Amino acid sequence: MKLCDLHTHVLPGVDDGAKTMEYALQMLENAVASDVELLAVTPHCNGAFPLGNFLDSQLLDRFAQLKEAASGLPIALVLGAEVAVTAQLPQLLAQGKLPTIHGGRYLLTEFGYQTQEAEFVPMLQNILDLGYIPLIAHPERYHAVCRNPHLVGQWLDMGCHVQLTGGSILGTYGRTVRQTAGWLLKNGMVACIASDAHNLNQRSNYLQDVCDHLTVQYSKQYARSLMYHNPAKICHNETL
């Protein structure tokens, strides 16, 4: 089944993902091996890494170099970022400094794992008020969501969407995260599933095992919708 992966740390030398171009290409070969045909490169942005990875000529050059190096692979690459939520985020977004997914309305947004329940809504509303749609990265890993997964329903009602990480569904991050991911899937709260790939090992680009799991547990149609149709729509700035 063809897949679309919207969350990967493949861009080399900019965060805790691929360190070299050679390694990045091996990660992309892994993606190709699991039938990923469209992939967003989403370095950590506005966070703990020295480069910041804001939308500037340096980031665009690095992305162009990766595209050039990967031009022989049967995979389309687009640029985005996994943007850390900070008090400065709304201002940076308004100034056009944050890479959205393929330059569209969707902003892959990462909260700290210890974020308190009450802190989510005001920030999400700030992003929505600026005309962007938060695609909330791996909510199943946030402690507040593990305690109370109904929080996600409130975010969906506001107009946000959520992205689960494939490894969470398979148990890479432990039982509580796996159960939370399962609850969100069962309740139809998930827009898409991505790899959040950082390396060639436990956090890889390989998604076909996740796809198989969804097909067996739910249906092929559900797997296709969360792992291809919805992420491709987000990538092309379409409404879900």
Binding site for Fe ion (CB under 5 A): 82, 196
- Compare residues 35 and 196 and give the one whose CB is closer to Fe ion: 196
Report, in Å, the least distance between residue 68 CB and Fe ion. Answer: 24
Name the 3-class secondary structure at 22.
helix
C-alpha to C-alpha distances, 35 to 25, 110, 119, 207, nearest whole angstrom:
15, 26, 38, 8
Report, in Å, the least distance between residue 100 CB and Fe ion. Answer: 15
Q: How far is CA 104 from the centre of its chain?
A: 14
Report, in Å, the least distance between residue 203 CB and Fe ion. Answer: 9
Q: What H or E segment, with its residue span, contains residue 135?
A: strand 133-137
- Compare residues 71 and 114 and give the one whose CB is closer to Fe ion: 114
Separation between Cα atoms, residue 194 and residue 161, nearest integer Å: 13
- Compare residues 27 and 186 and give the one whose CB is closer to Fe ion: 27
- Compare residues 35 and 82 and give the one whose CB is closer to Fe ion: 82
Give the side-chain half-sphere CA count within 13 A for 116: 3
Report, in Å, the least distance between residue 72 CB and Fe ion. Answer: 26
- Compare residues 11 and 226 and give the one whose CB is closer to Fe ion: 11
Separation between Cα atoms, residue 158 and residue 197, nearest integer Å: 28
Provide the β-strand partners of residue 193. Answer: 164
- At residue 72, φ and ψ (nearest 5 deg) are -85, -5
Separation between Cα atoms, residue 201 and residue 9, nearest integer Å: 13
Report, in Å, the least distance between residue 82 CB and Fe ion. Answer: 4
Q: 87: Cβ–Cβ under 8 A, 6 or more apart, which residues?
A: none
Report, in Å, the least distance between residue 7 CB and Fe ion. Answer: 6
Q: 99: Cβ–Cβ under 8 A, 6 or more apart, which residues?
A: 45, 53, 54, 55, 59, 79, 80, 81, 83
- Compare residues 17 and 90 and give the one whose CB is closer to Fe ion: 17
